[in-house]
Homo-oligomer: A and B are copies of this chain.
Amino acid sequence: MSQRGRPRTFDRDDALRRAMELFWEKGYGGASLADLTETMGINSPSLYAAFGSKQALFDEAVDLYARTESPEIWEALSVEPTARDAVASFLRLTALSFSRPGKPAGCLIVLGALHDSDASAEACAALRRHRAENVEAVRARLERGIAEGDVPAGTDCETVARFFLTVQQGMSIQARDGATRERLHALAEGAMAAWDGLVGATATR
């Protein structure tokens, strides 16, 4: 089936990528339609025809972000041989991702929409869902560590995962406050200093 009607004159993927970076920099509420259309190089009717609404555009932008920005962070969870190596790599790659020259500092999933009380309620809920998935991914990796013997049996993987995700989320704030790549890396190392105490303390012995 071929396309009918007048073809669009802009690259949808490219426009979406630009919108994603604007949402990343300014947040859902901070990125106005005027900002978006200017950044995307299109007029608002084209935006609405191609994406539906600001909210739908944001949803697509978040999906693009999760899919293309630093997937290595999550790939590390499965690639690294032990759970400890996996989390260490997860945090180290986060430090890199949050401090890329030419890209907004920190994480869209964390900084994109924090307050659900206003018109950005749906955007906030979508990001919250993503954050919950991220906790789950780390938790699952820790469980695998138990199964493979490199994490003490009985470790409270949920609690441990939430701790490391909390550090990662704090790193977004730090990155926005101007923390250098070296400082973010030190934070990752600092969090790993808690590993032995964490998996030891929450394990049944």
Contacts and interface: CB of A to CB of B under 8 A. Distances in A.
A160 interface: yes
Contacts of A171: 166, 170
A169 interface: yes
Nearest to A114: B111
Contacts of A201: 189, 193
Interface stretch (A10-18, A56-64, A147-155, A173-181): A173-181
Copies of this subunit: 2
The prevalent SS among residues of A at the interface is: helix
A97 to B, nearest CB: 16
A30 B118 CA distance: 6
Interface residues of A, number: 45
A118 B162 CA distance: 31
B173 A187 contact: no
A159 interface: yes
Interface in A109-146: 110-111, 114-115, 117-118, 120, 128, 131-132
